Amino acid sequence: MNRIIWALCTALCLVNGCTKQNDYIIDDNKNGQVKIKFDHIVGGKKLTLNDYLYSNNSGETFRINLLKYYISNIKLYKPSGEAFIIPKEESFFLVDLSDPSTLQPIVEVPTGDYIRLDFNLGVDSLTNTLPIEQRTGVLDVSKYGMYWEWNSGYIHFKLEGTSEQASNANQSFKYHIGLFGGYSTPTVNNNRKVSIDLSRAGTSKVQENLSSDIHLMVDIGKIFDGPNVITIQSTPIVMTSGPHSAIADNYASMFTHDHTHNFQKIASHEK
| Cα–Cα distance for residue pair 254/262, rounded to 1 Å | 24
Whole-angstrom CA distances from 121 to 43, 44, 95, 204, 253 are 20, 22, 10, 21, 11
Q: Is residue 24 a contact partner of residue 203, using CB atoms and an 8 Å limit? A: no
Rounded to an integer, what is the distance from CA 185 to the centroid of its chain? Answer: 30
Q: Is residue 205 a contact partner of residue 213, using CB atoms and an 8 Å limit? A: no
* Whole-structure pTM value: 0.90
Going residue by residue through the chain, which has 271 residues, state the pLDDT in tens, using 9 for 90 and above.
545 444 444 444 333 333 345 566 677 689 999 999 999 999 999 999 999 999 999 999 999 999 999 999 999 999 999 999 999 999 999 999 999 999 999 999 999 999 999 999 999 999 999 999 999 999 999 999 999 988 789 999 999 999 999 999 999 999 999 999 987 788 999 999 999 999 999 999 999 999 999 999 999 999 999 999 999 999 999 999 999 999 999 999 999 999 999 999 998 788 7
Q: CA 143, 149, 152, 155 torsion: positive or negative?
A: negative
Q: Which residues contact 25 (CB under 8 A, 6 or more apart)?
A: 111, 207, 208
